[in-house]
Each structure stands twice: as structure tokens, then as C-alpha cells.
Amino acid sequence: MTQHNTSKDAFWIRICIVVGVVICGVVAFLILGPRPEGMEGALDVSALPTVNASLNGITTVLLIIAVMLVRAGKINLHKNVMISAFGSSTAFLVTYVVYHWFKAGPKQYVGDFREVYLFILFSHILLAMVIVPLALVTLYRGWNDQRAEHRKIARITFPIWLYVSITGVVIYWMLY
């Protein structure tokens, strides 16, 4: 790789990280920050938790398929499936923000395993924040056919992304 390409890569990697951090900050603000008067309940979002869990489930399946494809040497199919996984995760993020912007109040866990639920919830939230820039960097490396660099970061990104997707479904099951 030439110095120019290394410099260009460093620039785009920084952009991926900054965009990922900004996305996390915006999502946190939209969920936890002040809302304009009358937003809560202004839109019926009662179906969105099921949509969100479904999108997490789809992402989980796509991630597993993508790993099987890359191990089988089907790189182009792997890329297409990973773009689909990124798309389903992005759709999840959009519907998640819409849900939290318009919902009337938080859904409380009422089961017998509160400590387990809280562990899953907090680890899910923390790793969800980490996965955004990680996924962007991993996709950048794969998109630019930087296989060694992509493989190296994908070994970190994949299990975290898979955990976040699976625990998103588990949280839904525990709440609903």
C-alpha cells in the first residue's frame, strides 16, 4: 500500500469513528434528552418493539450466514449479505429512535430475573455503542478489499455485533 493510500485510509477510518461516535451521541440525546411538548404518545409506536426485535433477529441470521459464506470462499455473497446486515441494523436504529421519541413511558421489567435482565441490558447498551464505529470501520476495510485488515477487525466486530443483535431479541422476550 502506498503512503497516499495509508493516509487516505487513516482519514476514512477517523471519519468512520467520528461518525460512529456522533451517531451514538445523537441517539443518546434523542432518547434521553428533552422532547418538545406533546411528543409522547403523538404517534402509535406500539408495534415497533416487535419490529425492532425482528430486525435484530434478521441481523443475527444475516451475520451468521455471512460468516458461513466467507468461510466457504464466497466473498461477493459475503459482501452482499454483510451490506444487508448493516441495512437491517440501520433500520433497527431508525425504528428504535422513533419508538423512544414517541413512546409514552419506559417498559419496566417485571420478571424474576432482574439482575440477569439488567446485566443483559447494560452490556447490550454498552456494546451497541461500541459496535457502531467498529462496524463502520470493518465495512470500510471490506468494501475496499483490504482483506487482512478487514479480517483482523472483523474478528472483534463479529462477536460484538452478534451479541448485540441476539441480546436485543432476548431483551424483547424478557420485556414482552
d(CA 100, CA 32): 9
Q: Are 155 and 101 in contact (CB under 8 A)?
A: no
d(CA 165, CA 110): 22
Nearest to 104 by CA among 42, 53, 49, 34: 42
Instruction: Enumerate the domain spans of the chain.
Output: 45-104+111-175
Q: What is the CA radius of gyration of the chain?
A: 18
Reported residue count of the chain is 176
- Mean predicted confidence (pLDDT) in 50-79: 97
* DSSP-based three-state secondary structure for 12: helix
User: What is the tens place of the pLDDT at every residue in 69-124?
Assistant: 999 999 999 999 999 999 999 999 999 989 988 886 667 888 899 999 999 999 99
Q: Are 134 and 160 in contact (CB under 8 A)?
A: yes
Write down the pTM of the prediction: 0.89
